[in-house]
Structure 1
Amino acid sequence: MTLSGVQQTPAVRAEDARDSKLLVVSVILVLTAAASIAALMQWYTAWAFITWDASDLSVYRQAGEVISSGQPLYDVKFAPGYWTYPPFGGLVMTPLTMAPLEILFPLSYVVNAGALALVILLTGQPLLRRAPDAFGRALLVVGLTLVALTVTPVAEVLALGQLGLLLMLGCCIDYLVVGRRLPRAQGVLVGIATAVKLTPGIFVLHWLATRQYRAAVTALATTAGCWLLAAVVLRGDTATYVERLVLFRTNEQIDGFGDSVMNQSWRGLVDGLPSPAASTLWLVLIALTLALGLTGASRAVRVQQPVAAVGILGLASVLVTPISWHHHAVWVVTALLALVGDGRHRVRLAGATLITVLLMLPARVPAPLPDRYTMLYVVLLGWLLVLVWQASAATDRRLSRSLDRYYGEAYESVMYTGAVGFVSDWVHRLMERPFRASSSGRVLELGAGAGQHAAYVRDFDSYLETDLLVPAGDAVRRVEPGGSVVRARLDAEDLGGLDNASFDRVIATCLLAHLHHPHRALSEWRRVTRPGGTITIYLPMEPGMLLRLLRRIVMVPKARKLGQDHERTVAIDHRNHYPAMRAWIETEFAGDHIRRARFPIPWLGWNFALFDIVHVTRSATDRPG
């Protein structure tokens, strides 16, 4: 059916399919023409002046020869300077000695082009799915690859025979494929990439920030294993790398070339400032970029935009690294595809097209802004962060409308199983400890949820259990160890249907933190409690440090397994914090006897406690007004 409700005939559907194919072919022709023009520009300004002998691929092969001949790797002067990669990076270059540059260089073109096509295939799925068939998708991949090959970071990888595309492909496979299909193996490819060149290690930081500890540990263990292998095979080179602090002296290794305008990181951008100001600003920019990048990537994961997460992390690594060359920024490919999405957003599509065209201008074309590429990376990163934040805010709004689903699907499992279930059982028993030796009389429980607490009340005359989640209609009766419990729908802020002083006990377990009008609720609770009766209130220590830590470690992972976000739900639904709740209780029950007990560490302040149990014994005197 079409949107108008009129069924299409086979002839109409065939015509639509032909139109879709025609659109794909037209796009391919335009992309091919653009790529051809850009390729000529790149050749005349860059490729023609980079000989095979002066390329990075030549240096890689020479490093392999140095290692094979037993010479010290970090003492040999290559054309661009001394070796800067970790020893394992040199070890993986030894197979290159098996072929001459005349074979290696064309082969590197083919391998890099294939790696780029695979990256586009992995990260461009939303756009590729709009093609009418598999042949159309293949054409789109070819067209996008042709264009991407002429974007300056990618073009310089081709001209220099660099590793950037292969490292990016490994990270994309690990993050987008292995993590979904073989989660136990996630981190291996990132670990190998980090062992060769340190910048992919930002994915490890991301996994730690998102509490994906298995992937982070796997990546770190893989990197450590690769470096240990290098330490065994290249013992002297490993000792030199550590003793000379080569990691922190990269600029010296390349004869200070990192201070040139070719440096595309934040460090290269601020180099023109006076020394103290430049260093301070650089550190501030690194901290800000890492904070925004890791937070943005985490949010991208939450809103199911993994390609955006890859693009954000890749661009952030380029900016925060002390020295980044143009060919390090191949991550613009994934970032641009994340920006384009499915191609339906015209502003995003136009912006991505403009950025792509600007990135096609070769690095050696004179321009008024020598750091124009760095600025483009910042714009692209900032745009992705804004999009992710917008999607996250929309998710928050949807989550606020789906609290009933959370409490219906996940709350019971999260809060009443495992270690948290043991703590919950302890809490309910603590609340009832003062009443073990006597009957609770007539009991009213407000905000009872699924009715977990009633089983802990040993003896009572009657028990009315209420919650807004209870369907409207007749009350439901069930039997608990203490007696018969009646379950009904009732608003804890409006108990107008209940008589004054009609209950011996009022119980509210983790309810006050949720209410819109806590003053009104507390006044109502006191009204329906008889003089001498008790109001028992459980207060979570929002937003106490110990409580947040427990949630992060235990409750959040449990909820995530059920497809729910416990932390966000609590942040939205627990609208009242502990100091305010305590002040309201002291105000509303000013003439009554109040007993409170914080657990488990009562003497270090509420930040080091999980909850507070308050028992209010109602006095015979009504409050004025």
Structure 2
Amino acid sequence: MILAVVAFNMVYAHRVSLRHDSFDLQVYAGAVHSWWHGGSLYGYGLPDDGRSWGFTYPPFAAIIMGPMAVLPWPAISTIQAFASAAATPLILALLLRWTAQRRVWWLPLVVAAADVLLVPFEPWDSTLSYGQINILLLALVAVDLLVALPRRHVLTGIGIGVATAVKLTPAIFIAYLLIIRERRAAFTAAATAAGVTLLSAVAAPHESIDFWTSKLFDIQRIGEPSWTDNQSLNGTMHRVYPHGATMFWVAATALVLAVWLWRVRRSGGLADRVAGFALAAIVACLISPMTWVYHLVWLIPALAVLFDHAAARDVPGRRRLVALVGLLAAYGLLCSHLVWHTYNGLLGFLTANLYVLVSLALLIGLPLRPPGRQRARPRGAHRLGRASQPLEGVSA
């Protein structure tokens, strides 16, 4: 069944890629091709809507995308579509495995149903239509936090480190590891990110200096922060307080980080890895200078936590109902495309910042299991067999 899910995702990715012509993937391929053939990595630009769009990631990302310099476009688009198509059910399986075990549901069927429900989910749809890489980064982090970390594997942190070296946003998970006192994993992640970045600097010194001293701080190069596309706190502040946006953004970021820390501490360090994963991902979306709509695939873990809570037999009925309402509301709003509708007054503010408000609501209201109940053995677990025993610390 999982192969059928991957095939379905491949077909869907091909169909929706026609909408935006995999524009971001074209930028990646064009910049890497230009660089590997003597041009400038950050000097390349693909014109669209009166702007020139260039490569926005560190040189390490361009190095691992090196095959794009020699492969034909059909091969590049097919490989990227397959990678996203395969990464999606992997992520869903890791997020939903404990819920399925506890309710004695067949995990492949749960994954297939969840995958179909992603079709109208705008962040996932946009990721595929633009040829973005966020699903792949999400998979790297998910494997680290939901497979390697519960097993205390010595390599825990490498996935987070690689993801951070490709794109800075996943660095929030290094902070998360420190907060929950997983110091070895945090050190491995930080060392991996630093190591591959330094190796990239040796391989591409000019591009590394250009990125880390100039391009990193040029937000305008990525786009206008005030655009509705930017569903981060920075985007909201630029839309509401255009002349003092940076100051308000810094203050809002500090407040969000404080709430995050309070929630993690209050939950006893979050032995529930899925909830910890979800909260860190929400914070990453909120505090990033630019959070395009397709970046909000990082909210998928939060939806999984809401589903887990709504389906739990050991949670009081009222809390299950609240979780279900929250799940339907968050999922529905993220599928609504209301963010693109223009209105005046308060309604205009709400729609223009809709996904920011959803992220804030998830940060504050995401249900967490009491620490003493996070390792309870599910009913019927004895029927699942030895191979189906839950991993320690996975969303119980």
TM-score range, shorter chain: 0.7 to 0.9
Provide the C-alpha distance between the structure 2 equivalents of 1:145 and 1:376, rounded to a whole number of angstroms. Answer: 21
> What is aligned with 1:213?
183
Partner in structure 1 of residue 308 of structure 2: 341
| C-alpha distance 362-274 of structure 1, shift in aligned 2 (>3 A) | closer
Correspondence for 1:185 among 120, 145, 155: 155
Whole-angstrom distance in 1 between the partners of 2:264 and 2:70:
41
Aligned letter for 1:94? G
Distance in structure 1 (CA, Å) of the matches to 2:71 and 2:266:
46
Which residue does the alignment assign to 2:346? none
How far apart, in 2, do the equivalents of 1:172 and 1:298 lie?
21
The answer as to whether partners of 2:339 and 2:353 remain within 8 angstroms in 1 is no
What's the CA shift string for 1:236-279, capped at 9, x where partnerless?
Answer: 111222332x2111x2323x433311111001111133445433
2:144–2:159 CA contact under 8 A, matched in 1:
yes
**Alignment partner, residue 194 of structure 1:** 164
SS at match of 2:290: coil
Aligned residues: 346
What is the match of residue 61 of structure 2?
89
Aligned to 1:284: 251
Whole-Å Cα distance in 1 between the matches of residues 268 and 77 of structure 2?
38
Whole-angstrom distance in 2 between the partners of 1:364 and 1:163: 22
Cα displacement string for residues 181-220 of structure 1 (whole angstroms, at most 9, x for unaligned residues)? 2432111110010000001000111222233221121111
Closer, same or farther: CA 303–266 of 1 in aligned 2, 3 Å? closer
The match for 1:355 is 330
The aligned amino acid for 2:210 is T
Which of 382, 397, 419 is matched with 2:364 structurally? 382
Alpha-carbon shift at residue 103 of structure 1 (Å): 3.1
Alignment partners' CA distance in 1, 2:138 and 2:154: 21
Distance (Å, rounded) in 2 between the aligned partners of 1:266 and 1:312: 16
Q: How does 1:64-463 map to 2 (within 5 A)?
A: 64-79=32-47, 80-130=52-102, 132=104, 136-244=106-214, 246-249=215-218, 251-254=219-222, 256-275=223-242, 277-300=244-267, 302-341=269-308, 343-344=311-312, 345-362=320-337, 365-366=340-341, 368=343, 369-384=351-366, 387-388=367-368, 391=370
Using a 3 Å threshold, how does the CA distance of structure 1 residues 95 and 108 change in structure 2: closer, same or farther?
Answer: same
Determine if contact 2:123/2:297 at 8 Å carries over to the other structure. Answer: yes
Distance in 2 between residues matched to 1:201 and 1:328, nearest whole Å:
15
Q: Do the aligned partners of 1:300 and 1:308 also contact (CA within 8 Å) in 2?
A: no
Between the aligned residues of both structures, percent identity stands at 28
Kept in 1, the 8 Å contact 2:122–2:334? The answer is yes
Code of the residue aligned with 1:375 in structure 2: it is L
364-373 vs 64-73, which moves further = 364-373
Q: How far apart are residue 305 of structure 1 and its match?
A: 1.3
| Displacement of 1:69 | 1.1
| Alignment partners' CA distance in 2, 1:358 and 1:198 | 27
Greater RCO, CA 8 A, separation 6+: 2
Q: CA deviation at 1:374?
A: 1.4
Corresponding residue number in structure 1 for 2:376: none
1:116–1:165 Cα contact (<8 Å) kept: yes
| 2: CA distance, partners of 1:226 / 1:264 | 30
User: How far does residue 230 in structure 1 lie from its aligned partner after superposition?
Assistant: 0.9
| CA distance in structure 2 between the partners assigned to 1:61 and 1:48 by the alignment | 17
CA distance in 1, matches of 2:270, 2:339: 39
The answer to whether the Cα contact below 8 Å between 1:270 and 1:281 also exists between their aligned partners in 2 is yes
Q: Distance in 2 between matches of 1:89 and 1:181?
A: 29
- Please give the alpha-carbon distance, in whole angstroms, between the structure 2 residues aligned to 1:58 and 1:362: 25
Contact 2:230/2:292 (8 A) holds in 1: yes
C-alpha contact 1:152 1:363 (8 A) present in aligned 2: no
What is the SS of the residue equivalent to 1:73? Answer: coil
SS at 2:38's partner residue?
Answer: coil
Relative distance call for 1:98 and 1:363 in structure 2 (3 A) is farther
Indicate how the Cα distance of structure 1 residues 130 and 175 shifts in structure 2: closer, same or farther if over 3 A, else same: closer
Distance between the aligned counterparts of 1:243 and 1:280, measured in 2?
22
1:27-38 matches, cutoff 5 A? none
Q: CA offset at residue 334 of structure 1?
A: 0.6
Could you tell me how far apart the structure 2 residues matched to 1:113 and 1:253 are?
A: 30
The Cα shift of 1:131 comes to: 5.4
Q: CA deviation at 1:364?
A: 7.0
> Structure 1 111/82 Cα, relative in aligned 2: closer, same or farther at 3 Å?
closer
Partner of 2:29: 61
Higher strand share: 1
DSSP-derived class of the 1:259 partner? coil
Please, which runs of 5 or more residues in structure 2 have no aligned partner? Answer: 313-319, 344-350, 374-392
CA RMSD of aligned residues (A): 2.7
- Conserved? CA contact 1:297–1:310, under 8 Å: no
The offset of 1:363, in angstroms, is: 6.4
For residues 314 and 81 of structure 1, the distance between their equivalents in structure 2, rounded to whole angstroms, comes to: 26
How big is each residue's C-alpha offset from its partner over 1:543-566, in whole Å with a ceiling of 9 and x where there is no partner? xxxxxxxxxxxxxxxxxxxx9xxx
* CA 1:173–1:229: 2 relative to 1, 3 Å: same
Q: Is the 8 A contact 1:63 1:94 kept in 2?
A: no
Look at both structures and tell me which one has the larger radius of gyration over its CA atoms.
Answer: 1
Q: Partner amino acid for 2:124?
A: V
What is the CA distance between 1:130 and its match in structure 2? 4.8
Distance between the aligned counterparts of 2:291 and 2:19, measured in 1?
21
Q: Normalising by structure 1, what TM-score?
A: 0.52
Q: CA deviation at 1:73?
A: 1.1
Which amino acid letter does the alignment assign opposite residue 109 of structure 2? L
Flag structure 1 segments of 5+ consecutive residues without an equivalent: 1-31, 396-562, 564-625
Question: Which whole-Å deviations, capped at 9, do the CAs of 1:560-583 have from their partners, x for residues lacking one?
Answer: xxx9xxxxxxxxxxxxxxxxxxxx
SS of equivalent residue, structure 2 residue 165:
helix
- Could you give the per-residue CA deviations for residues 99-125 of structure 1, whole angstroms, max 9, x where no partner exists? 322233243233212211111110112
SS at match of 1:340: helix
Question: Does the 8 A contact of 2:340 with 2:352 survive in 1?
Answer: no
- Decide whether aligned partners of structure 1 residues 298 and 71 sit closer, same or farther in structure 2, where only a CA change above 3 A counts: farther
Give me the TM-score of the superposition, normalised by structure 2: 0.80
